[in-house]
Structure 1
Amino acid sequence: MLTPPTVLPNKLFGPAHFAETSYYFEGGLRKVRPYYFDFRTYCKGRWVGRSLLHVFSTEFRAQPLAYYRAAARAGRLRLNEEPVRDLDIVLKNNDFLRNTVHRHEPPVTAQPIQILVEDDEVVVVDKPSSLPVHPCGRFRHNTVIFILGKEHDLKELHTIHRLDRMTSGVLMFAKTAEVSKRIDEQVRERQLEKEYVCRVVGEFPEHEVVCEEPILVVSYKVGVCRVDPKGKFCKTIFQRLSYNGKTSVVKCLPRTGRTHQIRVHLQYLGHPIVNDPIYNMEAWGPHRGKGGKIDKTDEELLKALVEEHRSKQSLDVLGISEEDLSSGAENTDCGDSSDCTKSAQADPVSESSCPAEDTEDPKGDTEDPKGDTKDPEGNDVAARLLNSDSNLETLEKHKELGSCENQEGQMGEKGSEEKDPLCMECKITRRDPSPKELVMFLHALRYKGAQFEYCSKMPEWAMEDWEE
């Protein structure tokens, strides 16, 4: 995504952001109508002296050059607020680039966000699975922050901790910076107790199990970690609650907060979460990564995971798209990346940075992204679509779609547009995930601090009499 002119740690969302588009519900899913949106950035140091064409061709490869040429003709690219007609223009220090895109968000579950507690200091909710906490990657309106603002009029919330997108359960927000700071201090002093519950494959041991295997991030873009001696220290305590002859319900007490810590430790122990879309996949090999045995390089593992989801048409469950995979760099900046690990607070206008949507980490376990996954054919398809005379002729007839007068990314009264002549996503028919695919059996059951304790109900899939 973009690096904004200024990133304020608690820059807040308001009515203009919420009004960009609207929701609708279909087939048990919450969907967002496509809308126009601005990605913005200042010229990076490495771009100075390079042409805009060269920057697009080397760093923003999720779209072909034909797209950027067409976007320039439509007036959707602006440099220092002036329309860019010539992509050969050479960039200078402090140049400001604005790119208007037609944005499509993946659907999430239609299950409502239940408010557990609201008082003068905090808002505590029971987050459904599949919802990111903050705008991140392809998600903006289908996030907890936006839904609370739009549907519950809960604004100016401060993040205390986060949950992984596919994890459900107790999620806390502070209403003031003072409350946030006070609880942050408890987090730093390890006074915050966290309890999760999950359903795992097989018969988990009856006795308490402590796992202290170090965890290493394999890819920030796809969101994959593994046990590795070079990783960070971790500790998770597990206790079986029940066993139904096929699967076990397990209580999890993370003592550290690393990305996907509970999920990776359970995989290592040979009991991955039943429906984990990453750590219980065939791509890990016949033993599904038990004991850290993978027998693949990181690159081979990522390719196998992506191909397995691609074959099932379930890339959206990973939170990525074909366009994300065809991007040439894992950390891109003009609306082409799904990287969600750069900072704890996204800028509300540009979404340049994304929270590390960690299952256990109160403030995110973030590092510099290094991996890369490519789809060599993605750009060719887009280029053929864009280069057709009919599409370009349609574009010329709808140049008003390229106007960009509103600072917040809306297109006048066309804030939400179902179809756009430039948009590749509009030309693709995707299979919707089923509501069942958007649920993972991992739930944050309880959060306890020095002066508070918040609990949610036990999820249905964790009940002893639950049938698979």
Structure 2
Amino acid sequence: MDELVRGRQVEKQYVCRVIGEFPEEPITCEEPILVVSYKIGVCRVDPKGKPSKTVFQRLSYNGKSSAVKCFPYTGRTHQIRVHLQYLGYPIVNDPVYNTEAWGPSKGKGGDINKSNEELLHSLIEEHAAKQSLDILDLSEEDLHLSMKKKDSEEYEQCLQPILSDPLSSEGDQLGTKTDKNTEASVTMTGDVLTKNSEQDTDGNDSSSVAEENRRDLIDPLCGECKIVRLDPSPKDLVMYLHALRYKGEDFDFSTELPEWAKDDWMED
């Protein structure tokens, strides 16, 4: 299968949900795509990029967003997402290509007006502010390199909480711990506590119990233990881009449309 995909012998179809009313007629985008950063995995349309081709066909429009079928004829990194951004219809919940870091027009028509370095700085700053640098798969070394290239006090303050934690992008899951004297279940994801009740069975504040549980799990030598993060919401764990069909000479595999791609779907 891997050899067939690499040899472009597989017909691929995807479905996504994009902002706005996508045109009814099929649209072909053949803008070249350049990898801005292999480490972070960010790309942009650029004349110096590699040839790329994607065909888009609207399936439906619900008044706010459109379900669109995508046919990539090349296999560039983030090809569908980058081409949709260029066309002005980024994926609704794309955490990289539908953000303010790309400028007022969010990269539509290639209108970014930033060098590759400036673009990366903007993306880092935006995700640092949202405490979502893990989306960019950044390490302490990457951030130190960025700091050397830009010395503004604002930039340092923005990245300081991340720079102080060399393992901030790991986010290992530690499991679930429940105290015997409480009904509050404490879920540890990275170092985040989620409390499900206000008081334990003895009438004590569950936040105090949770804090005691947290202290029991902290390793004083571990940088990860010093970082408190918010649990992602279910909406944060799904991007509206789905592999719909892979077809080759002797096989044809397809899946059902996801709920968010159906005609009558509306975002909560």
Fold in common (TM above 0.5): yes
Map of 1:166 onto structure 2 = none
- CA deviation vs aligned residue, 1:272-327 (integer Å, no higher than 9, x gap): 10110011001111111000010112122111112112222222333336x35435
- CA deviation vs aligned residue, 1:426-460 (integer Å, no higher than 9, x gap): 11111222121121100001111111111112111
Shift of 1:381: 4.2
SS in 1 for 2:91: coil
Shift of 1:373: 9.1
Contact 2:19 / 2:66 at 8 angstroms: preserved in 1? yes
SS in 2 for 1:221: coil
Map of 2:52 onto structure 1 = 234
Map of 1:436 onto structure 2 = 235
Kindly report which structure 2 residues correspond to 1:157-168, keeping only aligned pairs within 5 A, or say none.
Answer: 160-161=1-2
Answer 1 or 2: which has greater helix percent.
2
Q: Match for 2:44: what amino acid?
A: R
- In 2, the alpha carbon distance for the partners of 1:318 and 1:310 equals 10
Map of 1:202 onto structure 2 = 20
Q: Does 1:295 align with 2:113?
A: yes
Q: Does 1:283 align with 2:101?
A: yes
> What is the Cα-based RMSD across aligned positions, in Å?
2.6
- In 2, the alpha carbon distance for the partners of 1:293 and 1:306 equals 19
Q: Does 1:311 align with 2:129?
A: yes
Shift of 1:222: 2.0
Map of 1:462 onto structure 2 = 261
Contact 2:165 / 2:227 at 8 angstroms: preserved in 1? no
Note closer, same or farther for the CA distance 1:276–1:435 as it changes in structure 2 (3 Å cut). same
Map of 2:199 onto structure 1 = none
- In 1, the alpha carbon distance for the partners of 2:162 and 2:22 equals 46
Kindly report which structure 2 residues correspond to 1:263-278, keeping only aligned pairs within 5 A, or say none.
Answer: 263-278=81-96
- CA deviation vs aligned residue, 1:63-104 (integer Å, no higher than 9, x gap): xxxxxxxxxxxxxxxxxxxxxxxxxxxxxxxxxxxxxxxxxx
**What is the TM-score when the length of structure 2 is the normalising length?**
0.71
- CA deviation vs aligned residue, 1:147-169 (integer Å, no higher than 9, x gap): xxxxxxxxxxxxx45xxxxxxxx
Gaps of 5+ in 1: 1-159, 162-183, 330-371, 384-416
Taking every aligned residue pair, what percent have the same amino acid on both sides? 65
Contact 2:143 / 2:163 at 8 angstroms: preserved in 1? no
Map of 1:221 onto structure 2 = 39
- In 1, the alpha carbon distance for the partners of 2:143 and 2:161 equals 6
**What is the TM-score when the length of structure 1 is the normalising length?**
0.42
- In 2, the alpha carbon distance for the partners of 1:290 and 1:380 equals 32
Gaps of 5+ in 2: 167-215
SS in 2 for 1:432: coil
Which protein has greater RCO, CA pairs closer than 8 Å, 6+ apart?
1
SS in 2 for 1:187: helix
SS in 2 for 1:248: strand
| Number of equivalent positions | 210
Contact 1:215 / 1:226 at 8 angstroms: preserved in 2? yes
Match of 2:143 among 303, 326, 345: 326
Contact 2:165 / 2:224 at 8 angstroms: preserved in 1? no
